[in-house]
Structure 1
Amino acid sequence: MNYNNILLNIENNVGRITINRPPLNILDLQTMSEIVSALEEIRNTKAIKAVVFTGAGTKGFSAGVEVRDHLPESVKEMLRVFHGMFRQMIKLEQPTIAVIDGFALGGGCELALFCDMVIASEKSVIGQPDITLGNFAPLALAAYPFFIARKKVYEFLFTGESISAQEANQIGLVNRVVPSSELKAAEDALVGSLLKLSSVAIRASKMAMAATFNEPFEKALDAIEGIYLNELAPSHDGLEGLVAFLEKREPVWKEE
């Protein structure tokens, strides 16, 4: 398949997906659909033993989902496609690694942190600023309580404040933090360590992990998605935050 907004490279038993929309690598509907297709292609390529996600350019991984796609006329389709990426990811038998060199925000943060392992450069920052737009991140609310302490989830998602790679490492969201100049070497070392192991054992281990995660995660995601679409999206504040962002002004909350 030909891709326009991502790069898919399969080489030496590694599948590499690069979000190719620099400088911000925004996830619009086409980009997310291409990621879903790439994941399907990877699932059907048994020679692939590891999957790496990264962002093109020098700024960062991804600044998140296109804000306009959160508006009422497209929000249902946006959530269907966006969450479809993660429903494909939990079906993967190969370990996934995100490599962050700069920002990973909103949906970009969710995509990176949903990977099995994360390597970040020292300059990297991650964050879920959704709440500052009068919104919340359904995927993050469904998944992050499985990754870190619930009180940290509340702080991270309710304040909308970004955190450094070092803090993300301390609370368990990032595995390794290295200087930007050493990022590729760290990636190669981690991937290399996986390729030396039995892919049968790794695939079985992922299946075992999935048995504890997939069903409760999908159940939570369905419920939270319903709250987003039925409670938040139709509200004044839910729309006001998005419109204010697009109009580059401060939002006027009406608490309704």
Structure 2
Amino acid sequence: MYTTLEVLRDGPIATVWLNRPEVHNAFNAMLIAELTAVCRLLDADDTARVVVLAGRGKSFCAGADLNWMKAAGEASLADNTADARRLASMLQALAELRKPTIARVHGPAFGGGLGLAAACDLCVAATAAVFAASEVRLGLIAATISPYVLRAIGERQAYRYLLTAERITAAHAHDIGLAHEVVATEQLDAKIAELIYALLQGGPKALAASKALIRTVANQSINEGLMDETARRIAELRATPEGQEGLAAFLEKRPPAWIAGATGQP
């Protein structure tokens, strides 16, 4: 179905492979359009409960295809801006998927590849992985990826790495909050399977609501308005069939109905 992606399903798990290994999965207009479309399709698919983003070949993603970037720069300002806006929309579609997302970073994740890793909810990196916000070395800025990179590593670290374009090892990515786990390459899929198992224990609607809650609450002052908002959200979920099922299952000491779709080992 896709030119630049490979989408595999294993029950409730969808793995989206960036599939341009000959150019280190650099994204162009086609990949941007296809990844945006896949995110929207999976968002609407109730049978998909966890999404893994991975890269074929040696790299996770080398960022933007330089030929595409060059052509965009030579276009009119309106067309150039429209291309950048489509890239921003792709990252937003990934970041705001209602299902949990996991970046499987086995190799280099540069520029936009760093943005993809940061836009996912969880990031699992192999020890061989390396990250960089390399844009300034091309006379550019890490513009569209910046909201997600700052969310992952914070403003202070962003001043260093968005300005120096230094390469960030997997171990240091873990230290600064970019990678949640760092494991040997041969253990990468086993670690991701552990996280998937944990995610599938949660109610699908509760997971989606938790993602929305984090986006709302992050960096907000604790005041009456915020307390009212959080109270409203849990009250609404308690009244849903999923919330009622979860509470009943706990009281009755049985697994909730959604666990039937869980796979893997704890």
TM-score normalised by length of structure 1: 0.79
The CA distance in 2 between the partners of 1:112 and 1:90, in whole Å, is 10
**Among residues 48, 72, 75, which one is paired with 2:74 in the alignment?**
72
Q: Cα 1:178–1:185, aligned 2, differ >3 Å: closer, same or farther?
A: same
- Bigger relative CO (Cα 8 Å, ≥ 6 apart): 1
Structure 2 match to 1:27:
27
Structure 2 partner of 1:87? 92
Q: Deviation string for 1:148-191 (max 9, x for gaps)?
A: 23221010100011110000000100000000011111111111
Provide the rounded CA distance (Å) in 2 between the counterparts of 1:104 and 1:44.
28
Classify the secondary structure of the residue corresponding to 1:87: helix
Deviation at 1:205, TM superposition (A): 0.6
Paired residue for 2:227? none
Q: 5+ residue gaps in structure 1?
A: 214-256
Give yes or no for contact 1:69–1:78 (8 Å, CA) kept in 2. Answer: no
Alpha-carbon offset, residue 203 of structure 1: 1.6
1:46 paired residue number: 46
Q: Displacement, 1:37? A: 0.7
State the one-letter code of the partner of 2:172.
Answer: E
Structure 1 residue aligned with 2:262: none
Query: Which residue does the alignment assign to 1:183?
Result: 188
**Could you tell me whether the CA contact under 8 Å between 2:104 and 2:125 is conserved in 1?**
yes
| SS of residue matched to 1:42 | helix
User: Could you tell me the TM-score, scaled by structure 2's length?
Assistant: 0.76
Tell me the secondary structure at the aligned position of residue 61 of structure 1: coil
Q: Distance in 2 between matches of 1:72 and 1:90?
A: 29
Stretches of structure 2 lacking an aligned partner (at least 5 in a row): 219-266
Cα offsets for 1:100-136 (capped at 9, x unmatched): 1110001111111110000000011000110011110
Does residue 99 in structure 1 map to residue 98 in structure 2?
no
Partners of 2:89 and 2:59 in 1: CA distance: 23
Shift of 1:48: 1.1
Distance 1:75 1:109 in 2: 22
**1:153 match:** 158
Q: Alpha-carbon deviation of 1:9?
A: 1.7
Counterpart position of 1:210: 215
State the AA in 2 paired with 1:114.
A
Q: Which residue in the other structure is 2:222 paired with?
A: none
Letter of the 2:170 partner, please give it.
A
Greater mean alpha carbon deviation, residues 75-84 or residues 120-129 = 75-84
1:206-226 Cα distance to aligned partner (Å, 9 max, x none): 12113246xxxxxxxxxxxxx
Number of paired residues?
213
Q: Give the Å deviation of 1:89.
A: 2.3
SS where residue 21 of structure 2 aligns?
Answer: coil
Distance 1:41 1:200 in 2: 17
Q: Which moved more, 1:25-34 or 1:141-150?
A: 141-150
Residues 69 and 75 of structure 1 are in contact (CA less than 8 Å); yes or no, is this contact kept in structure 2?
A: no
**Alignment map for 1:112-131 (pairs within 5 Å):** 112-131=117-136
Q: Distance in 1 between matches of 2:26 and 2:135?
A: 15
Aligned to 2:6: 7
Contact residue 95 and residue 119 of structure 2 kept, 8 A: no
1:62 aligned counterpart, secondary structure: coil
2:228 corresponds to which residue? none
Whole-Å Cα distance in 2 between the matches of residues 149 and 88 of structure 1? 22
Tell me the secondary structure at the aligned position of residue 145 of structure 2: helix
* AA of the residue aligned to 1:195: L
